[in-house]
Amino acid sequence: MKPRTGVFLICIGSELLKGEVLNTNLVFLGRVLFENGIKLIGERSVPDDSKQIHSALREALEVTDFVITSGGLGPTFDDITRQTLLDYFLGAKEFRIPNRVGKAPGILFQTSDRKVISLPGVPREFEAMIMKEVLPKHLLKIAEKKQSFTAKAIGISEVDFLKRLGRLPSQAEAECGIYPSLGEVRFTAAGKNVQKFEAQVAKKLKKFLYSFDRTASFEATLGKMMRKKKATVSIAESCTGGLTAKLITDIPGSSKYFLGGITAYSNQVKESFVGVSKFLIKDRGAVSKDVAAELAWNIRKLMGSRYGIGITGIAGPDGGTKQKPVGLVYIALSDSKSTHVQKFQFTGDRERIRVLAAKRALYLLWHKIKFGRF
């Protein structure tokens, strides 16, 4: 009988079903399998209960010969996975799998035609063991020979990404997926020949694609480019409350290109520390194109950076009017020759608006440095 390919994941832990812990192991494994031509054919989350673990195992082994479990390995009273699997696989060989970032080793239970690999549930341990032990030694043996790529974009919505891309390959040609996050889009494709499609994505989304490396973050990519171009930036931000500066300085070595920032939340700080005209604020309002422009121009001159970013807006939930509603944000980018200002109307709660504004500001900086124009 031909072995059934594909993987079933069983996530063990009562905390998962209580909503106390986000199940990132499922997301991680699904992505790794997809990018390596392996199907995740099912998943089940169960509490720390032997009967329910046995039930999940029976369900999984009815559809595949390869099962991975996460959770329940360790020293606490509810870590019952190993004993439960020993009871289920009476007479099966048990092999230990090294855990190089934690204490609890993984376990492989193998019969003549089945593999069940049990891993710790701690995400950093689970992820490391998948990449270092399970993928190269076990999973790649059942992988279909497929090409794959991951395209990461910023400054564009999921809908606009697909509109620009146009026709997608048929399912027979490639499996595609698009995964939006705040301010970014990740697009994946896997098939027997996706090189032409990858080139199509690169051409049509050129203005927004920052990497084909699935592990790359936008902030790290921006920082690498700024170091290469020997570019520097400073920021004067209001409604984002320092978030833009935080995103930049989350990257080690960012002091090479980020000179400093001012969270100019009050009008007094905008005037006294950044030098925005008091009369301009009174005439146009703190949330205006002209104030954003002065924030960007003045902070650049004050810090001595090549570029300056100015952000002003209404993050909500209060403070909006009919003329200037919640979500209205002006973002300005300045160099020594001119200042470019864009107006945005973001939607969502306060946190979402602030993240979208900060991400868009950094996108404008990336675009300017990469393409030499606003």
Q: Mind listing the pLDDT tens digit for each residue in 6-59?
A: 999 999 999 999 998 899 999 999 989 988 889 999 999 999 999 999 999 999
The beta-strand segments (E) located in 155-277 are 174-181, 184-191, 209-211, 233-237, 258-263
Q: Rounded to an integer, what distance in angstroms lies between the CA atom of residue 328 and that of residue 326? A: 6
Is 347's pLDDT higher than 70? yes
Is 77's pLDDT higher than 90? no
Q: pLDDT value at position 4? A: 64
pLDDT class of 74 with cuts at 50, 70, 90? confident
Alpha helices in 152-253 (DSSP H): 158-165, 195-204, 218-229, 243-249
Q: Rounded to an integer, what distance in angstroms lies between the CA atom of residue 99 and that of residue 117? A: 13
Is 173's pLDDT higher than 90? no
Q: Identify the DSSP state of 4.
A: P
* pTM for this prediction: 0.82
Percent of the chain with pLDDT over 70: 99
CATH class of 7-142: alpha beta
For tokens 């595609």, the residue is 176
Q: Rounded to an integer, what distance in angstroms lies between the CA atom of residue 121 and that of residue 23? A: 9
Is 80's pLDDT higher than 70? yes
CATH architecture of the domain 218-371 equals Alpha-Beta Complex (3.90)
| Lookup: tokens for 338 | 């001119």
Q: pLDDT value at position 214? A: 86
Question: For the chain, how long is the longest CA-to-CA vector?
Answer: 84
For the chain, residues classed under CATH 3.90.950.20 are 218-371
CB 236 within 8 A of CB 261: yes
For the chain, residues classed under CATH 3.40.980.10 are 7-142
CB 185 within 8 A of CB 178: yes
Instruction: Name the CATH topology of 147-211.
Output: Alpha-Beta Plaits (3.30.70)
